[in-house]
Structure 1
Amino acid sequence: MILLSKATSPIKGEITVPGDKSISHRSIMFGALAEGTTTITGFLESADCLSTIDCFRKLGIEIEKKNNHMTGVPTIYVHGKGINGLTAPDSLLYTGNSGTTTRLISGILSAQSFDTDITGDASIEKRPMKRVITPLSEMGADIVSVKDNDCAPLHITGGKKLHGITYNSPVASAQVKSAIILAGLYADSATTVIEPALSRNHTEIMLKAFGADIHNEIYEDGKAAAVLNPGQSLKAIDINVPGDISSAAFFIAAALMVPGSELLIKNVGVNETRAGIINVLKRMGADITLLNEDDSSEKRADILVKYSKLHGDKNKEFVIGGADIPTMIDELPVVAVLAATADCTTIIKDAAELKVKESNRIDSVVDNLKAMGCDVTATDDGMIIRGGKPLTGAEIDSHSDHRLAMSFAIAALGAEGETIIADDKCVDISYPTFFNDLRSLL
């Protein structure tokens, strides 16, 4: 349990957030499938990413961590065995709370010569896996939900030959796309995944750097495709992981919320498929500037944020939906918190995907905002937030969802009275040092 109070002074200075979770996961997975040793600096040592390391160690991959004796900065070394180098695990693969691990590794394991079983924690065993079971099965994989409920545990029968497909995904999901693409590495022909809009493209960027023949295509109607031609071996590379914009989002929100604040967040990944929060908040009047931009590989920059009064259009409305959503799905809870303080009514739509995250984030965000005095209504695919009413401290039910716990820790900075977050340890899933970093700025 942690108790938080309203900020009594501006948030000033600079901060560096931990490495990007999506990139950290993929660096382990792709390094394992590459020939040679992949070195990773900036790796996020959170519970989710450590689950990925544990799974690949069980699959026969040597992964070690060494601290630089001069800087103390750790480097992860993944001693890859090539695309066909994995070996049968001696036990069940346990993915913890990580949907990324569960779904992406399913694509890889669908092509192996051995059987595997995968499961995770109680949350993972409720999250939808049919979205990867269906396309992987179309490719020739034998993957089933053990409880026949389209969720984990999953059993994957080895020895299947995979075929390339063109798959029209009903959702813009990087996890679905990546699972199919990773299975496509082993297929007998090209694999194409078409999405309603381009989801985060870390898989495409990183696989290309490892030597895969992969590219994106954007269509006139806004749909996007990832196209993989198999046959290339993957070669080890050096990876420097930028800071995670999903983690930076909480400090962006804090600086925008607390009067007089000015905060520099260093070395953050601002890949255009992930940086929707910056574009949306700028449209609401946020004073956010990108400095020291670096476009090599994964785009990164320092983010300068100054306190701003957020607002809508001339009718005092602001709509977040459509193409915005895939680029900021994980940031919507903290954006909802900011919307509660804005001088407008904010409508979040096209975000039904929030229902199948670590918790039902539509209901959870709405219930907690109501507890803090916000006028908010849940909808089938989002919420309507009538901002501007003062927030008051409350007891927050995070449902053991790391992003909810951190979002409402930020809400507490602008709320009168005390806010209690019962399950503060759930932040270990993505940002173990979050509360210490937050305290350092207060």
Structure 2
Amino acid sequence: MSEERAFHRAPASVALTRSGPLSGRVRVPGSKSQTARAFVLAALGTGQSQITGALVADDSHHMVHGLRALGIPVEALDDTGEQWRLTGCGGALPDVGPVTIDSGFAGTVMRFLTAAATLAPHQTTLTGRPALLARPVGDLLQVLNQLGARVEASGDFPPVIVHSGLPRGGAATVDSSKSSQFASALLLAAPFFPDGLTLELSGLGAPGYFDMTLQMLRQRGVAVQRDGMRLVIPPGGHGYPAIDEDVAGDASAASHIFTLAAATGGTITVEKLAGATMQPDMRILSVLADFGCTITHDPDGSITVSGPQQLRPIDADLSQTPDQLPNMVVLASLANGRSVIRGVGMTRFHETDRIASLETEMAKVGVVVTSTQDDVFIEGGTAQPGASLYSHHDHRLAMAFASLGAAVGDIAVDNADAVEKTYPAFWSAVEALGGKVSPN
């Protein structure tokens, strides 16, 4: 089996019939966020490292090809797409001549490799699919240029051209309110800046993912000092050794499975979540409990969610877990009463403007969703069958709509293959749990 296609291809459109309570056990893919950081850290570190349990999906496929384009030896150890060996460059990327990296839909690939490519002695162009080219990068590029790199784009958006010339580092301020990936990208490259990095954060969206970056850097011995919104990596460009990484199950993917249980009143267990505690989306379990779900943590690291007979409306702050907005909107639409979801303005800059897209798509099933800049309001209990919903090339919308279809029935999801970004076998998993899914 080719490593590039070690995962199943999803159908372009699916039809869902009301399924009744879904139940069973599922093992979700490896963490998208941990996989992306592990690949970049292994590539820039000194020596060989092995990554086990990596995400098998389009995002990691583009990360592997991007690192190879930068001259990093990346070896697949088997045909599962989960086991890899990388030989790091010690922060000195080889001169492989001008290269172009296709980031697909992956914001982590675009942003992390933009910062990493400043360590290369050649020109690198980073591009991707149209939806990715509409996601902002300007705040990251501004800081990289301030630190001595030569990076350019068309205004605030990709494609990005990184010219040769190692950043010296120094002091800078970054606005990461649109995405914490800006700050994470800078920290991943900063151990190799001769003058180090003193970084002030003027804003930080989804801070839990930034905390993950800090934790993984410290595991490799990087002396990151933090005082509130100020971070310091000492000068010297000493780098770090490569270490092995065992990737935990993806809490974000697990949340989509748990949402199926919540929406249908079923009971579903997700395995291999023992090491997922540093993933921000684990916090969504408390919100599911607010909806009326029962949460059970099993001794083997599995987590079981049982949905109630009737969901309760919620008032929840998702600023730490903004990726969960689509799931929570769907569940709120099934609860009798008004729900409020706060702190999710940053989702306007994700794969799509998630707030606007949810307002449009939920209206098709008779659910009124309104918003301010940061908060979303759902008038629940009115969801009706008989609609065709569009994912807007957003994997999280496609997966959230599966729960709506299983609960109310007669729902088609167009652009259902958006799930290939992070969970290519998602529709097969829904079917295995008792969901009635058919290609449309």
TM range (shorter): 0.7 to 0.9
Distance 1:66 1:264 in 2: 29
Say whether residues 1:213 and 2:223 are aligned partners.
yes
Give the 3 Å change call, closer, same or farther, for CA 114–390 of structure 1 in structure 2: closer
> Which of residues 107, 111, 120 in structure 2 aligns to 1:103?
111
Secondary structure at 2:391 match in 1: coil
| Contact 1:59–1:86 (Cα < 8 Å) also in 2 | yes
Secondary structure at 2:407 match in 1: coil
Distance 1:362 1:74 in 2: 33
Q: What is the aligned length?
A: 414
Say whether residues 1:305 and 2:314 are aligned partners.
no
- 1:161-190 alpha-carbon deviations (Å, 9 max, x no partner): 322224253517330111221232232033
How far apart are residue 144 of structure 1 and its match? 0.9
Distance 1:341 1:215 in 2: 45
How far apart are residue 358 of structure 1 and its match? 1.0
How far apart are residue 193 of structure 1 and its match? 4.2
Unaligned regions of 5+ residues in structure 1, if any?
294-300, 313-317
| Contact 1:280–1:320 (Cα < 8 Å) also in 2 | yes
| Matches for 1:196-275 after TM superposition, within 5 Å | 196=204, 198-200=207-209, 201-217=211-227, 219=228, 224-230=229-235, 231-259=237-265, 261-268=266-273, 269-271=276-278, 273-275=280-282
Matching residue of 1:87: 95
Secondary structure at 1:67 match in 2: coil
| Matches for 1:64-83 after TM superposition, within 5 Å | 64-67=75-78, 74-83=82-91
| Matches for 1:24-423 after TM superposition, within 5 Å | 24-67=35-78, 74-145=82-153, 148-169=154-175, 171=177, 173-187=179-193, 188-194=195-201, 195-196=203-204, 198-200=207-209, 201-217=211-227, 219=228, 224-230=229-235, 231-259=237-265, 261-268=266-273, 269-271=276-278, 273-292=280-299, 301-308=301-308, 309-312=310-313, 318-321=314-317, 324-325=318-319, 327-416=320-409, 418-423=410-415
Amino acid corresponding to residue 312 of structure 2 in structure 1: H
How far apart are residue 292 of structure 1 and its match? 3.5
Matching residue of 1:428: 420
Give the 3 Å change call, closer, same or farther, for CA 284–74 of structure 1 in structure 2: closer
| Contact 1:103–1:179 (Cα < 8 Å) also in 2 | yes
Secondary structure at 1:4 match in 2: strand
| Contact 1:191–1:227 (Cα < 8 Å) also in 2 | yes
Distance 1:196 1:204 in 2: 14
Distance 1:291 1:168 in 2: 41
Distance 1:406 1:238 in 2: 31
Give the 3 Å change call, closer, same or farther, for CA 242–193 of structure 1 in structure 2: farther
Say whether residues 1:14 and 2:21 are aligned partners.
no
How far apart are residue 63 of structure 1 and its match? 0.8
Matching residue of 1:298: none
Matching residue of 1:3: 15
How far apart are residue 11 of structure 1 and its match? 1.9
Amino acid corresponding to residue 4 of structure 1 in structure 2: L
Amino acid corresponding to residue 223 of structure 2 in structure 1: D
Secondary structure at 2:64 match in 1: helix
Amino acid corresponding to residue 215 of structure 2 in structure 1: I
Amino acid corresponding to residue 204 of structure 1 in structure 2: L
| Contact 1:204–1:215 (Cα < 8 Å) also in 2 | no
| Contact 1:59–1:89 (Cα < 8 Å) also in 2 | no
How far apart are residue 95 of structure 1 and its match? 0.8
Moved more, 136-145 or 48-57: 136-145
Distance 2:81 2:169 in 1: 42
Distance 2:335 2:146 in 1: 47
Give the 3 Å change call, closer, same or farther, for CA 16–135 of structure 1 in structure 2: same
Give the 3 Å change call, closer, same or farther, for CA 130–280 of structure 1 in structure 2: same
Distance 1:164 1:172 in 2: 23
Amino acid corresponding to residue 66 of structure 2 in structure 1: C
Q: TM-score, structure 1 length as denominator?
A: 0.88
- 1:181-216 alpha-carbon deviations (Å, 9 max, x no partner): 123223203333434573312211222222322254
Secondary structure at 1:421 match in 2: strand
Q: TM-score, structure 2 length as denominator?
A: 0.88
- 1:17-66 alpha-carbon deviations (Å, 9 max, x no partner): 00000111111111111122111111112111111110110111111112
Cα RMSD for the two superposed structures:
2.2
Give the 3 Å change call, closer, same or farther, for CA 128–78 of structure 1 in structure 2: same
How far apart are residue 271 of structure 1 and its match? 2.0
Matching residue of 1:297: none
Flag the structure with more relative contact order, 1 or 2, with Cα contacts below 8 A and sequence separation at least 6.
2
Amino acid corresponding to residue 169 of structure 1 in structure 2: D
Secondary structure at 2:340 match in 1: strand
How far apart are residue 372 of structure 1 and its match? 1.3
Secondary structure at 1:213 match in 2: coil
Matching residue of 2:6: none
How far apart are residue 98 of structure 1 and its match? 0.7
Give the 3 Å change call, closer, same or farther, for CA 89–263 of structure 1 in structure 2: farther
| Contact 2:55–2:82 (Cα < 8 Å) also in 1 | no
Moved more, 282-291 or 360-369: 282-291
Secondary structure at 1:278 match in 2: helix
Give the 3 Å change call, closer, same or farther, for CA 273–226 of structure 1 in structure 2: farther
Distance 1:275 1:165 in 2: 34
